[in-house]
Structures are given as structure tokens and as C-alpha cells.
Amino acid sequence: MKARALPGYLYDTLTRLFPHRTRTGLRAVGTPGPDAPVLVTGNYTLTVRRLTEHLAGFDCWLLVADSRGINVWCAAGGGHLTHHDVIAAIRTSGVAERVRHREVVLPQLGATGIERRAITEATGWATRWGPARLEDLPAFLARGSRIVKRWRFMRFPAWERFEMAAVWALPMTLVAGPVFGILGGRRVLAATLLQVWIVVPGLFLTVPHWPVRGRGRWVVFAGAAAAGFGLAWGVLALLGGVSGGHLILAAVASVAAVGVLAVDFAGTTPWYPSYVNSFRNTPAITLSEDRCTGAAECVQVCPRDVLAMEGRRRKVRVARPDDCIACGACIVQCPEDALHFRYPDGRVVEAATIRSTRLNMMGRRTVHVGPGGPAR
Amino acid sequence: MSSFVYMKVLESAPWRYDRGIRWLSGGHIEALWQRLAERAAGPGRRVLDIGCGTGGVALACAALGADVVGIDMNAEMLAVARSKTVAADAGGKVEWVELGAAEIEDRFAEACFDAVVSSLALSEMSPEGRRYALRVAWSRLRPGGLLVVADEVRPTDAAARLWQRTRRAPLVALTWLLTQTSTQVLDDLAGLVREAGFTQVRETRPWSSDLAIVEGVRPAEETS
Ligand SMILES: C[S@@+](CC[C@H](N)C(=O)[O-])C[C@H]1O[C@@H](n2cnc3c(N)ncnc32)[C@H](O)[C@@H]1O
Ligand code: SF4
């Protein structure tokens, strides 16, 4: 990375929880010719920045679709990046005049919203899924745009966990700093900020070792809040500022910091199923075997290696159900509508519903649009 | 008039859209739908509504006897539109199609509409998407056909612009929290319409300085 790009990069990284729109349309990476591959992505500034950087040395086209300034994963899940947006990008960018071939590489994490077949039907362009993570794009391109199985799967490596920690700790600092500084003075400020910057990274760095998905997480969150409070108390003691009022402020700060994370800790990565969207009611991915024709479109998009193709039987199998994050990508892509979600309370959500509903804090996938209008 | 960013929240919960947009528009939304319909629709006229959402404009057009197609790329919004009924006596009808603005050419022949309407949808598109949509609208209109679009725009005087910014800020934040997105305010809607090849372009702002209705005509004689 060039030093000149560093401030922008840091800004984009630290504010990555917010949408950042960058210019949509076609961009050249290197000096691409008419046969160079076309990689589709969303118009989230940080992703485009990272792509340009990781693809240094390659000649290819970036087709930046309108994902409303949101990263591909969240945009596709939330209905902000669909095949309609990819079709619009192909049509409005002039890419057809720049390349001789008619194929785009789609970001695999967009599979919850982008229906491949619709793109080909509308534009005649062929599509293929690229790797789930952009770090693997150089190797993917070096192999002539052919995928290797392990590039389909998400990871949540330590550097990324650290980055997420910083991304959460920073806004907490910006909010907590003035509030606790004004209410409690310098010593309380020091204690609460130190607490935030130890407890938040602590949770992210240790997450592979505690039960993110189970009820046990409440013990961990409670423990983290208690540890944060203990830490703040220690700092106050060192600075000679222990008083009833200060301790109450420290307690509020530590509960607030952990509380904010607890809302959707799992949703910070496609590695876990988001709490907000599944709540306690986590669906099981279910296959109607009689409908399965072994197209294996689902296997190509599952970011958690849940599904496996049984070559001899020409059927897909839900091989590792416990790893499923309920993203729905497999359901959206299945040409036979053979996959669906089954909730513990017996409700079944079919492919048509998954395709037409979007996930965010207000629209959940369990909405039911039926005769007489939608109901909840 | 309140700001329209919050309508993004409404779109993510489409069953609340109508109530919400009524409130956001200070009660003007029905009047807006009606005004667009009165300009564009009439008995037997074929009308296209781009980004029809829950169907406000399209249904108002059908109520005036028009034969309407409402397109939207958000299936949930369309589901709400479908649940509504067309006033029977006027003889109009509506067809709802899940379609993006850039896909209009796949479904509809050139010069097949008497009017194209679009309300609060252009501001949600990318700049290229907007230009493309207006050009496609032009090509699907018969020569002499009418375009009527309405959207949130930037007021021309500085004080009103500042007031718009201030009012939008909290709504932008709230909308982002709930839906992780927001809409944009258009700078020069009339200019865009002109650029797409329309003539006799007229702009009105009947209720407030930040909501514009722009009309344009596809010239009857090919000039270019
Ligand atoms: C705020 S709603 C307006 C709905 C309705 N016209 C009204 O006035 O109440 C905007 C609608 O435009 C749709 N929309 C935005 N961009 C679009 C595009 N490129 N193609 C089709 N529909 C689009 C959205 O899905 C949404 O339903
Ligand atoms: S199996 Fe689960 S994790 Fe894999 S694509 Fe389907 S819903 Fe997503």
C-alpha cells in the first residue's frame, strides 16, 4: 500500500460499520484488454480499496455495482445487492464495449441476494462465483478464474478479529469518552477507556474458545463485563480515585460496552449466525432429497462447508448442519427449490420467501406475505 | 415536508410503508400520487410506473381508467401493492412486475407507453442507473408521450438547504441503524430529464422547496 493511501484506508477501516459509497461503474485494474476477466463487487469504499490493492500486478476489470455503500455480504443479505443491481451494472457501465467475452465473476458472499440465472436470462452474460474472500482473488485469477474448494469457505482469522475489535472500540471511545469524562473526570475517563480497549479486543481474540452461539455466551458476556469493571476499579485505585460515584460510572461503562457487543456479536462476521436475524429461533437447513437433482449450485455458495455433494448418488447432503449460519445462500441458488429452513417451532420457510424477503433489523426472514396482505 | 431518507426504513418493512410515507410527506403523499396520475393517466392510456413500490401512483392512474404496469425490484414492496385492489368503476387495470429499471427493455417494446411516471425512485438509483432509466423511459414512450417524475431535490436557496441538511441528519442516522442505508437528494432533476432527450421540460414544487415534480415530452418529430 502506498503511504499516501494510508489515512484514507485507516478512516475507511475504522468507520467500516457505516455505509460508504464509492463511485459505481467499470474500473480498470492494471491495463486490462478485451479478454481480461470482469470481477463484480459492491460500491463499498473499503472493499474497492482492498480489491485494488490485492489485485496489484493483475490486469482485470472491476464492475462496481450499486450496493448502496454496503459491503457485499450485508448488502446481499439485506436486499441492497441483488441480480437486479448486477444487471443494471452490466447494462449501464458500458462493459460490453470494453470486453470481447461475456462473463462476470460474482462475489460468492453475494449469493444470498444475487440470483445467477436471472443475470444470464436478462443479459446473456455467463456468471461464475469467485472466492468468498478477496485475499484469494489473486490466486483465483492466476488459476484462470477457477475456484479451489477451500476458497469457498469463510475464515475469521486473528487479524480480522483484531480489526473488528478496533472497529467497535473506536465508536465506543467516541461516545463513552465525552460522557464519562464529563460525568466522572479524568480518572474515570482513563479507567473506562482502558477497560473498553482491553475487554473488547479480549472478547474478539478469545472468541474461538467460547460458546458464541449457545446460552453459555451470557456467562461469557457477564464475565467480560465483570472483568472490565474489575479492571476499571484497579485503574481507579492506582490513580487514587475510588469512590462510590466513580465505581458506579465504571460499572455502567463496562456493562454498556459488553451490552452493545452482546446485541449481535455473532453478526460481526459470516462465520457465525447473527443473533439479530435468527434470535433464539435458529432454523435448520433442510433438503427435500426427492427434489434434489445434484446440480450442486448450493455447494458452490455455502460459506461454511455445510453441504456436500455425494457424487455417486448425485444428491447433495447436509453434511455439517451444526456449522450452518442460516444465511440462506444455498436456498436462493437451488434451481429446484429443494432446500428450505425449518424452525424448531415447526414453521417452514420456503425458497420463494427467502428470495423475496430481506434481512435487517426491521425485516426478518420469518415474515409471511400471504393473502390479505403481509402479517408478522 | 419532512425528509424522505426514512422511507428506506419503510421499504424494509413494506407493510408499514404507506402509513410511514404519509407521515413523512406531511400528508402530501396522496396528493403527490394523485397529481402525477392526473398528468399522466386517462381512460385507455398505457402508463408505466418505475419503482412503483406499494403502488401509490400506479393505482391512482388505474383509478383514472389507465392501463398501468407497475415495476419494482423489491418483491416485498410489490407484495403489498398486489394486496391492494383497483377501483373497479373506472375501467383501469394494473399489472405488477418485479423488474429493475435497467430491465425494462427486456419486457416492453419501444414506444409502447403513452406516459411514464416515477415517484421517489430515481433518487435511490446510482447516477448511471438514473440516466439509463430516463433514457429507457424515453425510448419506451411513443413520440409525443409524457414523462412525469417526482423526487426529493436540493432546495435552491441556501437557508432551505441548510434546514434540509439539519433535518435529514438524525433521520439519516436512524435509518442507517435500522437498514444500513439511506437515500440521496437529487441536485438537478430537470437537467437530467433534459439530458435524456425530453423537451418541454417543466418543474414545479407545489408543496415545499425540496420536493419537485418534473415533466418532459418525447418529441413527436425525431430531431436528433
Ligand atoms: C420510496 S419507494 C417509492 C414508491 C412509490 N413510487 C411511492 O411514491 O410511494 C422507491 C421504490 O423504488 C424502487 N426502486 C429503486 N430503484 C429501483 C430500480 N433501479 N428499479 C426498480 N425499482 C427501483 C424501490 O424498490 C422502492 O420500492
Ligand atoms: S447451509 Fe447454511 S451456511 Fe451454508 S449456504 Fe445454506 S444457509 Fe448458508
A325 ligand 2 Cβ < 6 A: yes
A334 CA → ligand 1 middle, Å: 27
- Asked whether the predicted pLDDT for residue B73 surpasses 60, the reply is yes
Say which ligand is closest to the CA of A320.
Answer: 2
What was the pLDDT predicted at A232? 93
B114-163 residue pLDDT tens: 999 999 999 889 999 999 999 999 999 999 999 999 998 888 888 887 88
Interface contact B102-A87, CB threshold 8 A? yes
Partner residues linked to A84 by β-bridges: none
Q: Hey, of A17, A84, A353, A354, which one would you mutate to test binding to chain B, going by the most B CBs within 10 A of its CB?
A: A84
Contact criterion met (CB < 8 Å) for B181 and A82 = no
* Cα A330 to middle of ligand 2, angstroms: 6
**Considering every ligand atom, which ligand is closest to the CA of B182?**
1
Name the H helices within chain A: 6-14, 45-54, 72-77, 83-93, 95-98, 116-123, 137-142, 158-206, 216-238, 244-263, 275-278, 297-301, 329-333, 351-356
- Is pLDDT at B3 greater than 60 in this prediction? no
Q: Average of pLDDT values for B31-47?
A: 95
Count CA within 13 A, CB hemisphere, residue B108. 30
Contact state of A358 with B12 under an 8 Å Cβ cutoff: yes
Identify the CA nearest to A316 among candidates A72, B205, A335.
Answer: A335
Q: Closest-lying ligand to the alpha carbon of B130? A: 1
Give the integer Cα–Cα distance in Å for A114 and A130.
13
Q: How far is CA A315 from the centre of its chain?
A: 29
Retrieve residue B185's grid coordinates. Answer: 437528494
- Res B45: pLDDT: 96
* Separation between Cα atoms, residue B80 and residue B15, nearest integer Å: 6
Please tell me the distance from the alpha carbon of residue A81 to that of residue A68, in angstroms, as a whole number. Answer: 8
ipTM of the complex: 0.86
Angle at B215 between CA B213 and CA B218, to 5 degrees: 160
- Cα–Cα distance for residue pair A39/A23, rounded to 1 Å: 15
Whether residue B118 contacts residue B216, with contact meaning beta carbons closer than 8 Å, is answered with no
**Which pLDDT tens digit goes with each residue over A266-325?**
877 778 877 766 555 678 999 999 999 999 999 999 999 999 999 888 999 999 998 998
User: Taking Cα atoms as reference points, which of B68, B93, B96 lies closest to residue B82?
Assistant: B96
Ligand 1: which atom is nearest the Cα of residue B103?
20
**What are the beta bridge partners of residue A127?**
A104
Average pLDDT of the residues in B2-7: 52
Chain A: closest CA distance from residue B41 (Å): 27
Name the 3-class secondary structure at B99: coil
Determine the distance separating the centroid of ligand 1 and the alpha carbon of B52, expressed in angstroms. Answer: 6
Contact between B102 and B132 (Cβ < 8 Å)? yes
Under the banding of pLDDT at 50, 70 and 90, the label for residue B177 is low
> Distance (Å, rounded) from C-alpha A151 to C-alpha A109?
11
Chain A to chain B Cβ contacts (< 8 Å): 98
Ligand 1 atom with the shortest distance to the CA of B125:
16
pLDDT number for residue B182: 61
- Specify the residue with its C-alpha closest to ligand 2, atom 6: A330
Per-residue model confidence as pLDDT tens for chain A (376 residues)? 567 777 777 777 777 777 788 999 999 999 999 999 999 999 999 999 999 999 999 999 999 999 988 889 988 988 889 999 999 999 999 999 999 999 999 999 999 999 999 999 999 999 999 999 999 999 999 999 999 999 999 988 998 899 889 888 988 898 888 898 899 889 999 999 999 999 999 999 999 998 888 788 999 999 999 999 999 999 999 998 889 899 999 999 999 999 988 887 887 777 887 776 655 567 899 999 999 999 999 999 999 999 999 988 899 999 999 899 888 999 999 999 999 988 887 888 889 888 887 665 444 443 343 333 333 3
Q: Is A338 in the pocket of ligand 2 (CB under 6 A)?
A: no
Q: Look at residue A349 in the predicted model and tell me its pLDDT.
A: 84
Measured in Å, residue A306 CA sits from the centre of ligand 2 at 6
pTM: 0.88
| Cα end-to-end span (Å), chain B | 39
B2-217 homologous superfamily? Vaccinia Virus protein VP39 (3.40.50.150)
Residue from B65, B6, B57, B50 nearest B36 by CA: B57
Least CB–CB distance from A373: residue in B15, B74, B125: B15
**B178 to A362: CB separation less than 8 angstroms, yes or no:** yes
DSSP A295-362: --HHHHH-TT--EEEETTTTEEEE--GGG-----HHHHH-TT--EEEE-TTS-EE-HHHHHH---SSS
Is A66 within 8 Å of B76 when comparing Cβ atoms? no
Q: CA A292, CA B53: separation in Å to the nearest integer?
A: 35
Q: Could you tell me the CA-to-CA distances from A339 to A286, A289, A309, A312, A335 in Å, in that order?
A: 6, 9, 14, 20, 10
Percent of chain B with pLDDT over 70: 86
Residue B145 Cα, gap to closest chain A Cα (Å): 24
Task: Calculate mean pLDDT across residues B70-93.
Answer: 87
> What's the confidence (pLDDT) of residue A6?
76
Residue B83 phi/psi, 5° resolution? -75, -10
The whole-angstrom separation of Cα A38 and Cα A26 is 9
The single-letter code of the amino acid at A222 is A
Q: Determine what percent of chain B falls in helix, strand and coil, rounding each to the nearest 5.
A: 45, 25, 35
Helix (H) or strand (E) holding B115: strand B113-119
In this structure, the residues whose C-beta lies within 6 A of any atom of ligand 1 are: B 7, 11, 21, 51-53, 56-57, 71-74, 77, 100-101, 119-121, 124-125, 129
CA distance B100 to B112: 18
pLDDT score for A181: 87
In the beta sheet, which residues pair with residue A285?
A: A341
Distances (CA, A) of B138 to A55, B3, B195: 39, 29, 11
Q: What is the mean pLDDT of chain B?
A: 86
| Buried-exposed string A42-57: b where 16+ CB fall within 10 A, e elsewhere | bbbbbbbbbbeebbee
* DSSP code at position A144: T
With a cut of 70, say whether residue B195 has pLDDT above it: yes
Mutation to test the A interface, candidates B11, B103, B104, B184, most A Cβ within 10 Å: B103
